[in-house]
Amino acid sequence: DGGITQSPKYLFRKEGQNVTLSCEQNLNHDAMYWYRQDPGQGLRLIYYSQIVNDFQKGDIAEGYSVSREKKESFPLTVTSAQKNPTAFYLCASTSGQGGYEQYFGPGTRLTVT
Amino acid sequence: GESVGLHLPTLSVQEGDNSIINCAYSNSASDYFIWYKQESGKGPQFIIDIRSNMDKRQGQRVTVLLNKTVKHLSLQIAATQPGDSAVYFCAESGDSSYKLIFGSGTRLLVRP
């Protein structure tokens, strides 16, 4: 059953702690993305990776970090430097070969108190 | 279709009626456009897409119209059902072959 998985669905952290969100895909897609979504708003791009061992900053990369050591995995770390980390985080992937359609995971809701 | 601040525009339709959701896109270089449906607490789901060399594309109960002259995209849903209630996002490719630029979304409410 192909798709994108994100874990956990809900995550709670104390302020000042780093937290890593998981994203795995078995679609054999080259490109992967992380978005942040705040209530009643659209999707804002945090980081994206077109290929293994390479990634680029999106529109709101400050306070976040990523790695892409394997094609299937693109974890996102929300660091203590992110001023307002509470949000819904979405991971997506695309084949990257002329196809633009991005397939989304179910999302992780992060709450930092 | 674009929201201002924290308030999503909302379209309320009667069950069985047709719905039209509009979107203004920003980049005249965009050659690909896509509509997503997002239910509360879930990831966006693909509905339909269209390339810039077309002005209309139909799917099952959905039609996307593209007007490049005025940079406008619309999604038409025929015979709207309660299960269509969700937030709908348009997205454009912009200058990139890898990134999508998302609009702020429109909430569709279907009245029984």
Q: What is the pLDDT of residues A60-70, one digit of tens each?
A: 999 999 999 99
For residue B104, what pLDDT is reported? 87
Phi/psi class of residue A103: alpha, beta or left (left: φ > 0; alpha: ψ in -120 to 50)?
A: beta
- Token look-up 């002259």 returns B69
Mutation for B interface: A100, A103, A104, A110, most B CBs within 10 A = A100
A76-78: strand order across its sheet: A4-7, A19-25, A76-78, A64-66
Whether residue A39 has pLDDT greater than 90: no
Give how far Cα A31 sits from Cα of A52, A61, A93, B17, B97, Å.
9, 17, 5, 39, 11
In chain A, the percentage of residues whose pLDDT exceeds 70 is 95
Residues 80-109 of A with CB under 8 A from B: 88, 90, 92, 94, 96, 98, 100-107, 109
* pLDDT tens figures, B43-55: 999 999 999 999 9
CA distance linking residue B4 with residue A44, whole number of Å: 15
For residue A2, what pLDDT is reported? 66
The token duo for B16 is 């069985």
Least Cα separation, residue A92 to chain B (angstroms): 9
CA distance linking residue B84 with residue B107, whole number of Å: 10
CA distance linking residue B83 with residue B73, whole number of Å: 23
